[in-house]
């Protein structure tokens, strides 16, 4: 009798000690995991800061542009279509002298910044080569909505010859093709200044700290009053740069407004479906997960005796 009591006490003590050790081991494992995660995160953070450190001499890579409050950059922000209209005016009167816009057609402006009649009239101001006609000859005709925005040069060689060997890039996707996007383009257009002491810029180039290397072939073209806006908006250099950058951002991402609209609808639909799925799952399984199975043996139930050998 005494030995049985001692054995049961020892068994309970061992079981309690095992639970305590398991709890301590679990705590140690959690602490170890947290330490490892902290070390990895700290290492990754230090590596990122090392690779993206702000150096005193950033001439080789250009200055990092500031974060400008363009409304389309916000999570639910959309384009300012009045700004797109003004920006296309800036492009047509200033930028189109050197830069092309190969991926944009006149029809793309309809319903975005211009009416169909306005876009058709602007296209008709240019002549496009078409044909052949009935006699097999090519001919010139007024532009139509299905025509692309005309390029300033016939080919790359002509563009280089007119710009001292520099090739003006196509601006269709320029805000997506440059690191920093709209912030970089805006800073570049408004960042021209005199070179600091000790920095020499060879003839034919212009100093801009935001351009990699600091020397850019494109001269400053954005000044106060360089464009007269038809809606009476103040034509300061910053406003002109903001509008043309907004237009170029639309040219690179014309689907942005629709994409965000569809995204909001998708979030609402999937949130509703998730809530319905969670309710259905809980309603279906709560009876199975909360049930209790109890075995009530018969009162006259006797333990069967094992067969004798």
Quick: pLDDT tens for 62-86.
889 999 999 999 999 999 999 999 9
What's the pLDDT at 11?
52
At residue 294, the pLDDT reads: 85
Tokens representing 89 are 């005016």
Query: What was the pLDDT predicted at 33?
Result: 74
pLDDT at 208 > cutoff 70? yes
Asked if residue 282 has pLDDT above 50, the reply is yes
Average pLDDT over residues 171-198: 95
8-31 pLDDT, tens digit each = 554 554 455 444 555 555 666 777
254 within 8 A of 241, measured Cβ to Cβ: no
> Would you state the pLDDT for residue 299?
77
pLDDT digits (tens, 9 = 90+) for 121-152: 999 999 999 989 888 999 999 999 999 999 99
Give the confidence band of 212 by pLDDT, cuts at 50, 70, 90: very high
Cα–Cα distances in angstroms (integers) from residue 296 to residues 287, 292, 299, 300, 301, in the given order? 21, 13, 9, 12, 10
CA proximity to 171, closest of 110, 245, 222, 242 = 245
Calculated CA dihedral for residues 43, 46, 48, 50, nearest 10 degrees: -140
Q: How confident is the model at residue 297 (pLDDT cuts 50, 70, 90)?
A: confident
What's the pLDDT at 24? 53
Cβ contact 252:238 at 8 Å: no
pLDDT tens digits along 227-260: 999 999 999 999 999 999 999 999 999 999 999 9
Give the mean pLDDT of 279-304: 83
């Amino acid at each position: 009798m005494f030995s049985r009591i001692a054995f049961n006490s020892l068994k309970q003590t061992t079981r309690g000690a095992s639970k305590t050790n398991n709890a301590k081991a679990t705590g140690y494992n959690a602490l170890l995991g947290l330490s490892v995660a902290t070390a990895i995160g700290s290492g990754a953070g230090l590596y990122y800061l090392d690779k993206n450190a702000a150096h005193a001499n950033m001439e080789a890579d250009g200055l990092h542009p500031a974060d400008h409050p363009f409304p389309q950059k916000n999570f639910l922000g959309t384009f300012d279509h009045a700004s797109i209209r003004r920006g296309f005016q800036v492009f047509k009167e200033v930028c189109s002298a050197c830069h092309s816009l190969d991926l944009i057609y006149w029809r793309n402006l309809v319903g975005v910044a211009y009416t169909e009649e306005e876009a058709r009239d602007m296209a008709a101001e240019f002549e496009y080569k078409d044909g052949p006609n009935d006699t097999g000859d090519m001919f010139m005709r007024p532009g139509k909505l299905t025509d692309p925005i005309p390029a300033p040069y016939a080919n790359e060689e002509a563009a280089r010859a007119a710009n001292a060997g520099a090739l003006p890039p196509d601006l269709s996707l320029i805000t997506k093709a440059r690191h920093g996007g709209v912030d970089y383009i805006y800073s570049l257009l408004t960042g021209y200044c005199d070179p600091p002491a000790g920095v020499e810029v060879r003839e034919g180039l212009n100093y801009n700290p935001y351009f990699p290397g600091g020397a850019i072939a494109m001269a400053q073209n954005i000044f106060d009053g360089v464009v007269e806006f038809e809606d009476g908006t103040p034509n300061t250099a910053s406003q002109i740069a903001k509008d043309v950058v907004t237009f170029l951002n639309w040219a690179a991402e014309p689907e942005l407004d629709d994409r965000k609209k569809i995204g909001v609808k998708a979030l609402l639909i999937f949130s509703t479906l998730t809530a319905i799925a969670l309710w259905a799952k809980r309603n279906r399984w709560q009876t199975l997960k909360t049930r209790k199975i109890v075995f009530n043996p018969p009162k006259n139930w006797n333990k069967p005796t094992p067969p004798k050998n």
